[in-house]
């Protein structure tokens, strides 16, 4: 936790400096003067978080009193509208007091127990990962045990000091709040709303341990998709290494290990991107097939399928990341020294063969179509990635978001398939392409996407699409309640899909 304790006898130099310049704070007229009738809030602590919290509270119309062991030294670090005084004076009048000190310094505040009796203490601390595993009780519960006459509320621990100063944004507006007294939670929730945040009621103080674990998580939703992408990359990289580097070295005594940093990586990235994109839409196909088999939508999917459906966004973004890297690597291919040598050698061979004009019409058209389809596929993937951003997704209604993510996503998969087929052309039928009897890499990547495309095509058949639409509108094969689709075809198309 980055909060500076108020009880420290000596503050580090870096903690003496505010995150933003003090003259920027004073230049804001909303922070320069607070009306006398404004609600008063106390803060115990003088670290980065305490300073940022005071800045946000003053800007939100609160009268702030900061308690510090050395108010003369720390007064210049806070907004001029905030009153910096000794801890005993700071806790005397406010009913809500933020405790912005480390857990190990909670006991030093016990001398204030009489002044704090009956007040609401808002614990904003965060344990380290080691401390979270070491202590069974949360920081907030430990604080409540030291001050039984106070009402302790856990809040604002998931908000960084920078967010408090810069203002809330889409991705970090939520503030989990928990406490044993509903009135105290309500009071802190109203403060969070006044500060521009969105309070989330987490219930009693027993939830504080869960709330304190939130900042310790490092991209939990990305763990499985990232491992999946890395696993695919390793498998395809090893496969391409055997075909493009090891086979020429063993059978033809050609040293092509120089291909490992760029060429083999560039051959691997589109394979990973293509398979990941197909894995985004495969669980939807499996879910639809399961609903058709069961004849109802009111049965839970298996856990593995449910988790797969929940990770589709992360898998899709990783697919776009690999596709973007593939595009960048492709631009770098002509810059390689090996490519320049190949061009010179090709020109020399053409001169020696006395060929003045080298032009293969089929290859020219293939490359033109191949590149065009690749650009279109990457552009569509870019649109999918942009609409996944919270700020963009929040501006779309459900039908618009579903159209982009589902319909355009499937278009991206079809374009990627055509891009791959154009790259392969007739190579899958040439014996020389099967090195070590291993088929070309692009033939392996086509398996899952073609299954998804064929399944989607089957679901478009009237006999299947109508039955699936009925199931998703609540019809059950063995149920007593039957629903019929409207005769209006346009209304039937509005039925939601998985």
CA angle 24, 30, 32 (to 5 degrees): 65
Tokens of 39: 């609600």
Q: What is residue 486's predicted lDDT score, i.e. its pLDDT?
A: 54
The three-class DSSP label of residue 249 is helix
Select the more confidently predicted residue: 252 or 352: 252
Whether the model pTM is above 0.85 = no
Q: Would you give the end-to-end CA distance of the chain in angstroms?
A: 41
Band (pLDDT 50/70/90 cuts) for residue 389 is confident
Least confident of 120-129, 235-244, 400-409: 400-409
Q: What is residue 479's predicted lDDT score, i.e. its pLDDT?
A: 61
Q: Is the dihedral of CA 284, 290, 296, 298 positive or negative?
A: negative
**pLDDT over 90, % of the chain:** 71
Region 421-429 average pLDDT: 90
According to CATH, the topology of domain 218-477 is 1.20.120
Q: What is residue 28's predicted lDDT score, i.e. its pLDDT?
A: 42
Residue 60: burial class (beta carbons within 10 Å; 0-12, 13-18, 19+): buried
Q: What is the pLDDT of residues 210-224, one digit of tens each?
A: 999 999 988 888 999
Q: What is residue 375's predicted lDDT score, i.e. its pLDDT?
A: 97
Q: Which of 43, 46, 42 is nearest to 16 (CA)?
A: 46
Band (pLDDT 50/70/90 cuts) for residue 20 is very low
Select the more confidently predicted residue: 347 or 334: 334
Strand order in the sheet with 63-68: 83-86, 63-68, 40-44, 96-99, 120-123, 151-154, 174-179, 198-201
Mean pLDDT of the chain, nearest integer: 87
Cβ distance 191 to 96 under 8 Å? yes
Is the model's pLDDT at 142 over the cut of 70? yes
The runs of H, that is alpha helices, within 8-138 are: 13-16, 22-27, 29-32, 48-59, 71-74, 87-90, 113-116, 129-134
Distance of CA 57 to the CA centre of its chain: 29
Residue 472: burial class (beta carbons within 10 Å; 0-12, 13-18, 19+): middle
Cβ distance 207 to 245 under 8 Å? no
Distance of CA 379 to the CA centre of its chain: 21
Q: What is residue 447's predicted lDDT score, i.e. its pLDDT?
A: 95
Is the model's pLDDT at 199 over the cut of 50? yes
The runs of H, that is alpha helices, within 135-202 are: 139-146, 161-166, 182-194
Distance of CA 494 to the CA centre of its chain: 29
Q: What is residue 357's predicted lDDT score, i.e. its pLDDT?
A: 74
Cβ distance 165 to 60 under 8 Å? no
Residue 417: burial class (beta carbons within 10 Å; 0-12, 13-18, 19+): buried
Cβ distance 49 to 124 under 8 Å? yes
Distance of CA 305 to the CA centre of its chain: 20
What does the domain layout of the chain look like in residue ranges? Answer: 38-214, 218-477
CA dist list (Å): 326 to 260, 269, 330, 337: 15, 6, 6, 19
According to CATH, the topology of domain 38-214 is Rossmann fold (3.40.50)
Is the model's pLDDT at 167 over the cut of 60? yes
Dihedrals phi, psi of 174, to nearest 5 degrees: -75, 135
Is the model's pLDDT at 259 over the cut of 80? yes
Residue 203: burial class (beta carbons within 10 Å; 0-12, 13-18, 19+): middle
Q: Which of 7, 20, 26, 28 is nearest to 51 (CA)?
A: 20
Region 475-481 average pLDDT: 71
Is the model's pLDDT at 379 over the cut of 80? yes
- Bridge partners for 120 per DSSP: 96, 151
Q: Which residues contact 298 (CB under 8 A, 6 or more apart)?
A: 476
Dihedrals phi, psi of 435, to nearest 5 degrees: -85, 130
**pLDDT over 70, % of the chain:** 88
Dihedrals phi, psi of 354, to nearest 5 degrees: 60, 45
Is the model's pLDDT at 4 over the cut of 60? no
Kindly provide the b/e burial profile for residues 369-389, where b requires at least 16 CB atoms within 10 angstroms of the residue's own CB.
bbeebbebbbebbebbbebbe
The three-class DSSP label of residue 67 is strand
Band (pLDDT 50/70/90 cuts) for residue 495 is very low
Q: What is residue 23's predicted lDDT score, i.e. its pLDDT?
A: 40
Tokens of 11: 């503050």
CA dist list (Å): 162 to 59, 167, 189, 441: 15, 8, 20, 47
- Bridge partners for 42 per DSSP: 65, 97
- Give the span between the Cα atoms of 122 and 100, in whole angstroms: 9
Band (pLDDT 50/70/90 cuts) for residue 7 is very low
Q: What is residue 324's predicted lDDT score, i.e. its pLDDT?
A: 97
Q: Is the dihedral of CA 470, 471, 473, 477 positive or negative?
A: positive
Is the model's pLDDT at 484 over the cut of 60? no
Q: What is residue 491's predicted lDDT score, i.e. its pLDDT?
A: 45
Is the model's pLDDT at 474 over the cut of 50? yes
The three-class DSSP label of residue 132 is helix
């Amino acid at each position: 936790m980055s909060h500076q304790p108020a009880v420290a006898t000596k503050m580090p130099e870096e903690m003496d400096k505010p995150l933003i310049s003090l003259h920027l704070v004073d230049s804001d007229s909303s922070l320069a003067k607070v009306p006398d009738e404004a609600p008063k809030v106390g803060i115990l602590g003088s670290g980065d978080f305490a300073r940022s919290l005071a800045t946000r509270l003053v800007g939100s119309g609160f009268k702030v009193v900061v308690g510090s062991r050395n108010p003369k030294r720390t007064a210049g670090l806070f907004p001029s509208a905030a009153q910096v005084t000794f801890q005993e004076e700071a806790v005397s009048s406010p009913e809500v007091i933020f405790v912005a000190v480390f857990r190990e310094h909670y006991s030093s505040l016990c001398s204030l127990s009489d002044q704090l009796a009956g007040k609401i203490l808002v614990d904003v601390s965060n344990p380290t990962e080691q401390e979270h595993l070491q202590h069974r009780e949360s920081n907030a519960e430990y604080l409540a045990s030291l001050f039984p006459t106070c009402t302790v509320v856990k809040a604002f621990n998931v908000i960084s000091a920078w967010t408090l100063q810069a203002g809330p944004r889409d991705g970090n507006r939520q503030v989990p709040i928990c406490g044993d007294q509903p009135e105290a939670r309500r009071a802190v929730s109203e403060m969070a709303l006044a500060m521009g945040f969105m309070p989330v009621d987490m219930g009693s103080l027993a939830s504080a341990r869960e709330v304190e674990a939130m900042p310790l998580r490092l991209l939990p939703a990305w763990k499985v998709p990232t491992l999946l992408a890395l696993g695919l990359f390793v498998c395809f990289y090893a496969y391409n290494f055997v075909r493009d580097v090891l086979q020429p070295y063993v059978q033809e005594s050609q040293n092509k290990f120089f291909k490992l940093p760029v060429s083999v990586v560039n051959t691997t990235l589109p394979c990973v991107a293509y398979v990941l994109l197909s894995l985004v839409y495969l669980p939807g196909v499996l879910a639809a097939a399961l609903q058709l088999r069961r004849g109802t939508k009111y049965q839970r999917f298996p856990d593995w399928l449910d988790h797969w459906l929940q990770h589709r966004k992360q898998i899709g973004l990783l697919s776009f990341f690999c596709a973007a890297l593939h595009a960048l690597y492709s631009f770098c291919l002509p810059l390689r020294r090996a490519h320049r040598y190949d061009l010179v050698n090709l020109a020399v061979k053409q001169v020696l063969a006395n060929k003045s004009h080298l032009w293969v019409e089929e290859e020219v058209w293939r490359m033109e179509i191949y590149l065009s389809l690749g650009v279109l596929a990457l552009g569509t993937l870019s649109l999918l990635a942009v609409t996944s951003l919270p700020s963009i997704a929040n501006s779309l209604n459900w039908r618009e978001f579903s159209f982009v993510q589902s319909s355009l996503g499937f278009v991206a998969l079809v374009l990627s398939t055509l891009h791959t087929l154009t790259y392969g052309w007739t190579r899958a039928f040439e014996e020389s392409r099967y090195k070590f009897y291993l088929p070309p890499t692009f033939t392996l990547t086509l398996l899952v996407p073609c299954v998804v495309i064929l399944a989607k095509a089957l679901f478009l058949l009237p006999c299947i699409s109508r039955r699936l639409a009925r199931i998703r509108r609540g019809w059950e094969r063995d149920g007593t309640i039957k629903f019929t689709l409207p005769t209006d075809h346009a209304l039937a198309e509005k039925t939601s899909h998985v």
